[in-house]
Amino acid sequence: MGQQPCVLCAESASNDGRYVWEDRLWRLWTRTTGKVPGYSFLNSRRHIPYITDLDGDEAATLGPVLARITRAIRVATGASLIYLHVFGDGAAHLHMHLVPHQPGDALNTQVVRDDAGNDASLADLTRVAEQIERVLTSK
């Protein structure tokens, strides 16, 4: 059985959104349906599955691109802030959810479910923090 084509690689607009900006590395798709005006997705133009697969130019431009487009979304929506989510399991193509938020809107800002069970242990939390620190500071 063949693999389905990537919906993020499709060049045409859909009924629930459209591409509103692009450069040689990135494209911004904004929803035209739903409960949150300005809900957008920043997609890499190159088909890569994860943020860890960014190359030099993509990695170097990600911060400035995010700053530019989140400013534009804030201006367009009047949002007090923009949430950024990178899930990676809905489509095997790097895309970041950019979600404008204002008090009282339809957005549920709870990313970790309250009913998900007990908190991780202090030992596990500390161990992982120390591992991250080692990876980032090792030469």
User: Which CATH number fits the domain that encloses residue 61?
Assistant: 3.30.428.10
**53 three-class SS:** helix
pLDDT in tens, 35-64: 888 999 999 999 999 999 999 999 999 999
> Is residue 62 included in any domain, yes or no?
yes
Mean of the pLDDT values across residues 7-27?
81
How many structural domains is the chain composed of?
A: 1
pLDDT in tens, 87-100: 877 788 899 999 88
Domain housing 102 = 17-111
Mean of the pLDDT values across residues 117-138?
78
Mean of the pLDDT values across residues 94-109?
83
pLDDT band at 66 (very low <50, low <70, confident <90, very high): very high
- The residue to which tokens 């700053």 are assigned: 67
> Is residue 138 included in any domain, yes or no?
no
| Burial status of residue 36 (CB atoms within 10 A of its CB: 0-12, 13-18, 19 or more) | middle
> Is residue 32 included in any domain, yes or no?
yes
Cα separation, 99 vs 85, in Å, equals 8
What is the reported pTM?
Answer: 0.78
Angle 111-54-23 (CA atoms, 0-180°, nearest 5)?
95
Cα separation, 26 vs 44, in Å, equals 5
